[in-house]
């Protein structure tokens, strides 16, 4: 399939405008006790969900430097980042890893992701940031893949968010020209009603985390693309200046279009970030799209992934102890 360059699809976005964006007024928790009570309400949504895939809140023994909100990847669960969350807690951070709607269910062959809507995702993001805001610390958000789309939306729409790390953001899957992504978002009925296996050769027998789904209803990915398209075309502008935005690029990632992810980060976040940069993972590591989950192949160690997160946030060793091919360089916007 022939891809257009990111800039070539600007005309298509202007011509094929999307509908009104979902809005959710902020309702931040007023204090830490209320934040913990709100988290308990969020955790109550996990009834019937395996313990390993439930939303997690890690709190340090003493004062926290910041509250980190980490969104897991598409078809995965909070278990993906649980070990990293524990490591970050030991570094003095409060870490909130929410379970995205319809993820982490006991039946990994569930078709529930087809029930997702942009409105559900926006409401989820708002609820999570409301919890984080109650702790009174700086809020830094991180996400992988579709989780990066969630983090990007939070950074754009909530003034409490100060720093953003986008790890392989889901803006366009590999092989999909941007106009086609836009068309599917505009008219989701055009998306085939099929179940898409991550590896059609082995289907449900795929090797990896037992908590991650081996596939998904194709329409289940559209709401995440809807959010990224609203951000990309400026329908939802970033409403405040961010201290720092960093894009994490993985050369071994063959799930998303890295050129589009880079264009997305530069166009949406660079103009409103006091510090902006890109962190590239060493290609010799041969990490895959999901380079986080310790139960999946071709991933980093918990210590390596934690170092990448801290480097992206500007709170750790700039090369992530050698994981990044060069020191992370952040620059003032042009």
- Quick one: the chain helix, strand, coil %, rounded to 5? 40, 15, 45
In tens, the pLDDT along 286-324 reads 999 999 999 999 999 999 999 999 999 999 999 999 999
Contact indicator for 243, 151 with CB cutoff of 8 Å: no
H or E element that contains 289: none
In tens, the pLDDT along 265-282 reads 999 999 999 999 999 999
Residues listed for the chain: 334
Question: Domains in the chain: how many in total?
Answer: 1
* DSSP 8-state symbol, 60: -
Residue 15 has a pLDDT of: 67
In tens, the pLDDT along 3-44 reads 445 444 566 666 678 889 999 999 999 999 999 999 999 999
H, E, C per residue of 13-56: HHHCCCCCCCCCCCCCCCCHHHHHHHHHHHHHCCCCCCHHHCCE
In tens, the pLDDT along 171-204 reads 999 999 988 999 999 999 999 999 999 999 999 9
Contact indicator for 252, 298 with CB cutoff of 8 Å: yes
Residue 12 has a pLDDT of: 67
Domain carrying residue 279? 6-331
Residue 156 lies in a domain: yes
Residue 1 lies in a domain: no
Residue 198 has a pLDDT of: 96
CATH number at residue 155: 3.40.50.1820
Q: From 177, 128, 178, select the one nearest 151 (Cα to Cα).
A: 128
Q: Give the CA dihedral 156, 76, 252, 233, nearest 10 degrees.
A: -30
Mean local confidence (pLDDT), 100-123: 98
3-state secondary structure of 97: strand
**Residues 279, 143, 38, 78: is their CA dihedral positive or negative?**
negative
Residue 83 lies in a domain: yes
In tens, the pLDDT along 152-178 reads 999 999 999 999 999 999 999 999 998
CA–CA gap between residue 76 and residue 2 (Å, rounded) = 30
> Scanning the structure block, which residue is given the tokens 């298509």?
12
Residue 280 has a pLDDT of: 97
CB-side neighbour CA atoms (13 Å) of 19 = 10
Which pTM was predicted? 0.95
In tens, the pLDDT along 226-259 reads 999 999 999 999 999 999 999 999 999 999 999 9
């Amino acid at each position: 399939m022939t891809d257009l360059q990111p800039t070539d699809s600007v005309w298509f976005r202007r011509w094929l405008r999307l509908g009104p964006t979902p809005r959710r007024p902020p309702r931040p928790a007023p204090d830490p006790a209320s934040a913990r009570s709100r988290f308990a309400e969020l955790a109550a949504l996990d009834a019937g969900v395996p313990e390993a895939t439930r939303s997690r809140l890690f709190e340090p023994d003493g004062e926290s430097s910041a509250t980190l909100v980490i969104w897991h990847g598409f078809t995965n669960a909070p278990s993906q980042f649980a070990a990293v969350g524990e490591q970050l807690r030991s570094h003095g951070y409060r870490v909130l890893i929410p379970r995205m709607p319809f993820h982490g269910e006991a039946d990994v062959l569930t078709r529930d992701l087809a029930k997702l809507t942009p409105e559900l995702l926006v409401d989820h993001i708002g609820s999570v940031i409301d919890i984080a805001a109650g702790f009174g610390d700086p809020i830094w958000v991180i996400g992988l893949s579709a989780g990066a789309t969630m983090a990007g939306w939070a950074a754009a729409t909530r003034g409490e968010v100060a720093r953003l790390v986008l790890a392989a953001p889901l803006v366009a899957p590999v092989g999909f020209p941007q106009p086609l992504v836009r068309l599917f978002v505009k008219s989701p009925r055009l998306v085939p009603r099929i179940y898409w296996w991550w590896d059609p050769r082995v289907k449900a027998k795929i090797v990896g985390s037992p908590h991650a789904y081996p596939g998904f209803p194709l329409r289940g990915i559209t709401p995440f693309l809807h959010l990224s398209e609203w951000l990309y075309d400026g329908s939802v502008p970033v409403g405040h200046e961010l201290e720092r935005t960093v894009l994490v690029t993985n050369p071994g990632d063959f799930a998303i279009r890295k050129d589009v992810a880079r264009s997305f980060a530069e166009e949406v976040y660079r103009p409103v970030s006091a510090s902006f940069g890109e962190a590239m993972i060493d290609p010799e590591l041969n990490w895959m799209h999901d380079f986080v989950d310790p139960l999946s192949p071709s991933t980093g160690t918990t210590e390596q992934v934690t170092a990448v997160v801290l480097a992206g946030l500007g709170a750790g060793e700039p090369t992530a102890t050698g994981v990044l091919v060069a020191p992370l360089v952040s620059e003032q916007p042009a």
